[in-house]
Every structure is written in structure tokens, then in C-alpha cells.
Structure 1
Amino acid sequence: MTVTTDDGVRLWASASGRGEPLVLCHGGPGLWDMFEDVAALLDDLATVIRWDQRGCGRSERCAGPWTTERFVADLDAVRRHFGPARMALLGHSWGAQLALAYALAHPERVSTLVYVAGTGIDPVTDWHPAYEERLLARLGEDPERLARWQELPKDDPERAVLQWSAEFEDRARAPEHAARMADPWFGINTECNTALNAEVRHGWGTPELYAACRALDLPVLIVDGAGDIRPRSAVDSLERTLPRADRVTLPDAGHLPWVEDPKGFREAVATALR
């Protein structure tokens, strides 16, 4: 189905299951919804609402704007389209940052926030060098794969699959999991990715952000995979700051914990929704 934003951009969206609404915010920036497995895991617990962010995936190609404020407004258009006054939010990676930004802007419209594999609220420079080092180390397990990744353009599907293979703790199954992420392939919006990542680099780690998080009176569940190549210590800043945060770390999972530990992921989210 189609959700139309207040500035006329058409967003792809889908709903399944039954119960109170749970809206999912996918990662990226510049990617698309890859939550089909998550919806299947949770659709007996909630009405699961998926959507592709502005200019990405199955949503209308547009010229932006590529700002968190604009994406928060788009997420609110999704909420209005499906009707709930309040919704639970689950965001993954960049989508976790977006879901947090929405909750800070509209806390009265959020019942619960599930923050999956995000990177906290400290400056990006505190964790990104360690992430880059770990990414190269995992790709370097196969020198030919690393060399191939380095020579391909950033929006190439083969490069994406090679990079995504570093996201999984189970190294034997990592190529299979990464290939599933790219099927179907909708193309990476590199302009969106560049702009929003630059905004996060400038906006995270500010006193204003810490103060806003300290004042956020919402239940928040942080879900990590212990094998995520983004250092999990990055999320400590958020856990310390939020007044009502719980945290579950799944020991045998990487950056997409529902793929490698679906049972543990479902149990954690089910507890938060209850």
C-alpha cells in the first residue's frame, strides 16, 4: 500500500498480524525494509507495520530532503495512515537512531521503543574507528574477498553482499545470510546515506541530545548482538542516560540478531510489548 507524506512523496508500506501497532524502522540510511522475517516472528503479538523510507527501496524516488527531521515527519505520516494515536516502535541500526529521534520529538505518540543494534548517542568518532577496523578484519579473513570489496563501487550489489557478510557472528553462514539481504535488490540511495550520516556525525554527542534522552519518560528495550562489529560499548551512553531502559544482549548474534537468534530476539521483544 502507499502512504503519502505531507509534501506529497509516496512511501511503500505494509501491515500484517493482529494486535496493537508495532512500526518497524529499517537500517541504512539509503536502504530498504528487510524485516520480512521480523514480521513473521512477531505478527501474532502485534500488527506489524513496515515501510521503506523516503527515496529508498519501493518508495518513490525523490530529491529528499535528507534530514532526520524530514524522516521523523515521514514516520508520523505512516502512523497517521494506519490510525493509531500511539504505537510501539522498533528500529534497527540507523533505524534505531530514527526511532529514537521520533520518540524524542513525539513521546506522547510512542508506547514502547525497541532499539536494536544502534550505536548510542556519544560522538560517532568514539566508536567508528573500531568498527572500521573490525569490518576490515572480517573481510580480510579472505584476502581475495577484501580486494574485491575495495575495488567495487559503493552502490554495487556484490559489494554490499560482501560487506554485509561481515555482520554475522556465524562465519560459515554469513555469505548465505548476506545474500538474502540483497534479494530482492532495490539499489542503495547513496545521496541519502551520505547526507544523513553527515547529520548524525554533527548532531550526536551534544549536551542537548543527552538532556533530551534523560527526560524521555518511555520504556525502552535495547537489543544487541554480542558479535556486532560496532562496539557495543557505544550503546552504553544511551543505556546510562535513559531513565527507563532495559537491555538484552544475545551472545550468539551479530548486527541482525533476529537472523541468528530468532528465539531470543522474539522473547526479548515480546516482553517489551507486554
Structure 2
Amino acid sequence: MGSAVYRFGQYALDADRRQLSHDGQQVDVEPEALQLLCHLVEHRGRVVPEVELREKLGHGQTVSEAALAGLLRKARLAIGDSDTRQQLIRAVHPHGYRFVAQATVAATTLSATPAAPGVPAGAEADHEVIRFCRSADGTRIAYALTGEGPPLVKTANWLTHLDLDRTNPMWAHWFDGLTRGRQLVRYDERGCGLSSWDMDGFTLDSLIADLHAVADAASLDRFPLLGVSQGGAVAVAYAARHPERVSHLILTSAYARGEQIRAGSDDERDAAEVDLNIARAGWRSQDNSFLRYFASQFLADATPAEWDAFAAYQRQTTSPANGLRFIEEFSRIDVSGIAHQVTCPTLIIHSRDDARVPVAQALELATLIPDSRLILLESRNHLFTADDPAWPTFLTHLYTFLSK
């Protein structure tokens, strides 16, 4: 189990255990006020709309404006703030609030996952620290170092949230699996998770610069690079531009060209535009039927309840505006022209029946990258789940590849 602890000034907020302390002494706070504080701190990268807070606190029923004002007052008083000072929780007109204090995040997690074949038991990570660096354009990027051993860098992909992923069913097994005998270096994409949600630029160059900043901040010289989903395109571009830094490249559920770029016929272009328009409408409205449909593309074999949990997680990782921007930009990404410049050994793993990215995209990557090998696994999931039979097979191939 894991616990994210936020520190600001002399206060420490354990969001998972719902505990607030000041100089090591527990602060008594009404549970609803503490829940409000946790939500604001966890989403401190953005302005949280008043309606969102009222729905969150009402557990399905919207609380009144007066009740919200009372809980805000109690939350502020608990951390030495007030309605007039607003040095930590600031009202943002017309109707929103933002936690504006500088905060650091640490998480400690114990893992009981069995070791992978050929990996010594007890080699898993049990400690994680979240840090921050600045990309070339000044954007704040959150990154985390997990486990011990030689590094494995995972390129950012949406959806992630560093201080939620270790206990999120969609990602928890990934980090347990990827930290067996290695130190996993991962980060939140700009506009997402704990990285800055205010983006001046969102281009391939800026995403490459973010990865470069994390590698430098973690003092990495040469390292294997894992690209998952749309993070695969960024990984390919980085390996092509910085061959001296990347020793091995692993791509899973990845593609070289976004849906709009790879559309080769009128029918495919029409389908790509319809898909994008549905995404635009869905992210703007935050309609749950769309979010569930979106989740089903990532987790084809999940249950409706798991799709709903995925949809709820989506809302925590980024804003609707950024979510739409991600989809639009990645539908137009294209690294097919530089993939041939990748010189390191490359392993491409893909589900045969991937519902989000067709297997043809894996075949294209294998054709474009010179020293590459392709492995197709029997699965429909875009992201391998913990109980997917393909998951342990994926790990075995990954560790065998990295050992060479």
C-alpha cells in the first residue's frame, strides 16, 4: 500500500490517510474540510471549479454554497490561512479555488509482488521520492525515482499522475513490475498530473525537451528507454536525436504516426475526423458515456465498473481543455521520417487485437527502425492489466531484452 505526503511550510498532509500535522503534531480537522483540503492540494496545478468541490464533498449530491463556504473557512484555519489572507487557498473569480502554496511530495510504498523470472526476490522498490525540474522553456516537470539498480526511463504518456499511480489499479502493477532490480525513472507529461497544467507549447520538440530535462536532473548518462502508447513516438524521436544517451529502446502499444496523419483513404480520413469530433464533444462536456467509451479503448477486457474508475481517474490527471489538446496533438504526431535514425537495439511489443492502436502500427515501427524485433501478444488491451495473461509475458520479454 502507498501513501502520498504533501509538505508545505510546517504542515504535512497525508492525503491517503486523511491526516494533517503541524510540526509533527496532528491537527484536528472536520473530515469534510480535510477532504476539501486534500482535493485542492492534489489538484494544485489548476483552478478547481466551485461546482466540482460541491459535487466532490456531496458524494453524489451537491452541497450548498453556504456549506462549501463554511468548509473552506475551516480548511483555511487548519493550515493558518483565512478568507482575507488567502496565502495558501486563493479564490479565483468567477467561481473557483486554487491551492497556491509551494508543496513537495513524497510517497513510500511497500510491494509484495512476486519477483519476475530471473530477478532476485526482494529486489523490488520500497521507496519513492517525487521531485521537480524545469524543461527548456521553463515548464515545471514532476518526476519520480523508484527502486534501486540500473535505470529504466519510462517516457511520459497521458494519462498519468505520479502521486496517484502507485495505488491506481490501472498502473500499480506496472511500477511493481518495472522496478525489479532496476530504478524506474518516470515523469508526468506537461499539462498533466503534477507537472504544470499551464502549457505555452505542446509540440514534439517540447516533449523531447521535457524528457531531456528529466534525464539530466536524474544525472543519467546512458539508459534504456520505454515508450508506452503515445509516449512511444516521443521515445523514438528522442532515441533518434540522442543516440549517445539511449542504450535500448522498448516500445509497447506505440505508433509512429497519429490517426489523422496515417489515414490513407477518404474513408480513413472521415473516420479519423469523426473520432476526433467525438473526443472534442466528450472532453468539453465531460459526459460519462464518452469517458467510458474512451476507457474501453484502453482496457478492452475490463468491466463497466473498471471503465468508470478509469473515467474518474481521467478527471484527476488533467483538465478537460488539456485532455482535448492531448488528443488533437497526438492525432497529428509523426516520427516516421526520423525512425530510421534510431541506432540502438529496439524491442516492439504490441497486442494483436489492440482496440486503441491497430497492430499495423507496430508493423510499421518494426519496418522503419533498423535494429528492431517485433513480438505480438495475445491480448485486446491497449494497456496490459494486472490479470491479463499477456502481462507476465511482456515482463519476461522486457527483462530478457535488457539483459543483452
Matched, 1:32 2:163: no
Quote the offset at 1:153 in angstroms: 3.8
Residue in 2 that maps onto 1:143: none
Which residue pairs with 1:6 in the alignment? 136
CA distance in 2, matches of 1:166, 1:109: 33
CA gap 1:155/1:67 in 2 versus in 1, 3 angstroms: farther
Q: Give 1:154-233 correspondences, 5 Å limit.
A: 154=284, 156=286, 158=288, 159-170=290-301, 173=303, 175-176=305-306, 179-180=309-310, 182-183=312-313, 185-188=316-319, 189-190=322-323, 192-193=325-326, 196-197=329-330, 199-200=332-333, 203-205=334-336, 209=337, 212-229=338-355, 230-233=357-360
Structure number with higher helix proportion: 1
Look up the match of 1:59: 195
Partner-residue secondary structure (3-state), 1:69:
helix
Give the TM-score, by structure 1 length: 0.79
Q: 1:155 to 1:262 in 2, by over 3 A?
A: farther
Query: Over aligned residue pairs, what C-alpha RMSD do you find?
Result: 3.1
Q: 1:90 aligns with which of 226, 251, 263?
A: 226
Residue 183 of structure 1, CA deviation = 3.2
What CA distance in whole angstroms lies between the structure 2 residues aligned with 1:26 and 1:155? 26
Q: How does 1:43-122 map to 2 (within 5 A)?
A: 43-121=179-257
CA displacement, residues 218-258 of structure 1 (integer Å, 9 cap, x when unaligned): 11111111220222012212201222111221103420125
Q: Percent identity?
A: 24
Cα 1:174–1:93 shift into 2, 3 Å: farther
Higher relative contact order (CA 8 A, sep 6+): 1
- Structure 2 spans left out of the alignment, 5+ residues: 1-130, 166-170
CA distance in 2, matches of 1:245, 1:196: 27
- Provide runs of 4+ in structure 1 moved above 6 Å: none
| SS across alignment from 1:97 | helix
Per the TM alignment, residue 66 of structure 1 is displaced from its structure 2 partner at its CA by 0.8
Tell me if the contact between 1:26 and 1:93 (Cα under 8 Å) persists in the aligned partners: no
Q: Contact 1:115–1:221 (CA<8 Å) still a contact in 2?
A: yes
Moved more, 213-222 or 78-87: 213-222
Provide the residue aligned with 1:246 in structure 2.
Answer: 373
CA 65–76 in structure 1, closer or farther in 2 if over 3 Å, else same: same
Is the 8 Å Cα contact of residues 166 and 174 (structure 1) preserved in structure 2?
no
Q: Give the residue type in structure 2 aligned to 1:268.
A: H
- Go from structure 1 to structure 2 and tell me whether the alpha carbon gap of 1:190 and 1:258 turns closer, same or farther (over 3 Å shift): closer
SS in 2 for 1:108: coil
CA shift in 2, pair 1:174/1:78, >3 Å: farther
- Deviation (angstroms), 1:178: 6.1
Q: Distance in 1 between matches of 2:369 and 2:308?
A: 33
Give the paired residue count.
Answer: 252
